[in-house]
Amino acid sequence: MAKKRLHIKTYGCQMNVYDSARMADVLAPLGYEATETPEDADLVILNTCHIREKAAEKVYSEVGRLRLLKEEKARAGGRMLVAVGGCVAQAQGAEMMRRAPSIDLVFGPQAYQDLPDLLGRATRELMETGRSRVVAIDLAVDEKFDRLPEEAAPQGYSAFLTIQEGCDKFCSFCVVPYTRGAEFSRPVADVLAEARRMVRQGTVEISLLGQNVNAYHGDDGNGGVAGLGELIRRLADIDGLERIRYTTSHPRDVDDDLIAAHRDVPRIMPFLHLPVQSGSDRILRAMNRRHTAARYHEIVGKLRDARPDIALSSDFIVGYPGETDADFQATMDLVRQVGFAMAYSFKYSPRPGTPAADLDEQVPEDVKSARLAVLQDELLRQQEAFNAASVGRIMPVLLERDGRHPGQLVGRSPYMQAVSVDAGSVPGDLKGTIRNVEIAAVLSNSLRGRLAEPVSMVAAQ
Ligand code: SAH
Ligand code: SF4
Ligand code: F3S
């Protein structure tokens, strides 16, 4: 089979990262091998994100760049196919296809199992008419996972595994229910099989993914339904799977069983991303989040009782339509009361087709910017304090790759902090192992530490 080169550019969330890896698996039997640059690719896939306007804009400018590259290749007698997948494709696929003739194929997040077919159709249309207009944006997810290949490339020591797709929550600012479709949970047996395969291929840490991961309710194989807590307990029985994470959770779906799993299963990392968006009940109600600030505090309290060393991260939106100074202060109060190890924060971005985009009381851009700066200042202060408090502690670090200097390895702490470790004098390869590391210093974007185990012990393993 002729070798072909595939370049995938991934935007957006971890679910897109997982999907891109699976697209490569789907295309491998056709002879496609990954390449780092679009210049030498036969097929370029943009796996796109629609969550904020900026994310979507990036795609259009990339399509523009690819058009030039495509024309250059055509002049040299070659050919490059351009495919746009992911959430922008889902939301605006048909329109993109009309507006950008350089795109050969548009496919949604629930259609990539059909890529070999779709590419075949696109190629035929190109040969016959000189232009391909293949659009596949059907949102039915049920079959996707069943039809993905069992063969998969190794995903490294730390890997993503999608267990849940879509969202039924319809927060009023958010495009996800429209781009990913209705909630769907993979059966427990499928998840276990994929996790076992990953572990056989060398993975030691798995992050379970879903737009609403803790809404997971998968077929348990015995006529019942398993929640996320139950699924995690089953996964924790897999030998060699040392670390389990999950993201992204919704406060509404944190149940007592999941909290108990944090208490009972040491392999769940003591770090949870739990987006709150706002600290104002008025705004939370307008956002259709269906929880209050008090409920968020209650959940955090229960999690901390169950797992006292747990740290939290979150997402925030400032400048949601109608947000007043008092509402914003409520968000700042919540941030100060909870204390976050890290967080993402965004200016509200009106998204076409979502209810909030049409509201009259849009907050002016300069007010959004000012609030964001105040919030980010506080969040950064908290993150720096959290990192500073790590100095002197001994933490297990999953060593994943070589660092910049000889003998240096880089890995992640339980709290997702990047830690560089000088292991130069230690014989043997420590990559892929979890080692106790004494944190010695905070650098700008990472921590530095030294192995806290006797060298002879390390070398013996
Ligand atoms: N399912 C997750 C969030 C997925 S989107 C949850 O329920 O929390 C990731 C983050 O992007 C959101 O948490 C939110 O903070 C942000 N976001 C989503 N839509 C946005 C918009 N229209 N403008 C600004 N930020 C947005
Ligand atoms: Fe979007 Fe809300 Fe669903 Fe999260 S829960 S994906 S923010 S609609
Ligand atoms: Fe973006 Fe789609 Fe993920 S809109 S955040 S890539 S679910």
E strand residue ranges, 109-210: 134-136, 158-162, 164-165, 184-185, 205-209
CA dist., res. 130 & res. 123, Å (int): 9
Token pair for 431: 């990559």
Q: Give CATH for domain 4-136.
A: 3.40.50.12160
- Ligand closest to CA 12: 3
Q: By C-alpha distance, which of 186, 263, 183 is closest to 215? A: 183
Pairing of strands 418-422, 408-412: antiparallel
Q: Where in the chain is the domain with CATH 3.40.50.12160?
A: 4-136
Portions of the chain given CATH number 2.40.50.140: 394-451
Residue in this structure with the two tokens 């490059």, named with its chain if needed: 80
Would you mind telling me the total number of residues written for the chain in this entry? 461
Q: Which CATH number fits domain 145-388: 3.80.30.20, 3.40.50.1970, 3.40.640.10, 3.40.50.970?
A: 3.80.30.20
CA nearest to 268, candidates 301, 226, 311: 311
Ligand nearest, relative to CA of residue 344: 1
Residue of minimum CA distance from atom 1 in ligand 3: 49
Give the global pTM. 0.95
For a mutational test of ligand 1's pocket, the pick from 88, 317, 331, i.e. the residue with the most ligand atoms closer than 8 A to its C-beta, is: 317
* Nearest CA residue ID for atom 12, ligand 1: 315
Q: For residue 15, give the H/E element and its range.
A: helix 14-27
SS3 content of the chain, % helix, strand, coil (to 5): 40, 20, 35
Q: How far is Cα of residue 226 from the mean position of the Cα atoms in its chain?
A: 23
Residue 309 phi, psi dihedral angles, 5° rounding: -90, 10
Predicted confidence pLDDT, tens digits, the chain (461 residues): 778 999 999 999 999 999 999 999 999 999 999 999 999 999 999 999 999 999 888 999 999 999 999 999 999 998 999 999 999 999 999 899 998 989 999 999 999 999 999 999 999 999 999 899 999 998 877 778 888 888 899 999 999 999 999 999 999 999 999 999 999 999 999 999 999 999 999 999 999 999 999 999 999 999 999 999 999 999 999 999 999 999 999 999 999 999 999 999 999 999 999 999 999 999 999 999 999 999 999 999 999 999 999 999 999 999 999 999 999 999 999 999 999 999 999 999 999 999 999 999 999 999 999 999 999 999 999 999 999 999 999 999 999 999 988 889 999 999 999 999 988 777 568 999 999 999 999 998 899 999 997 654 444 44
What residues does CATH 3.80.30.20 cover in the chain? Answer: 145-388
- Domain range 394-451, its CATH number among 3.40.50.720, 3.40.640.10, 2.60.40.1180, 2.40.50.140: 2.40.50.140
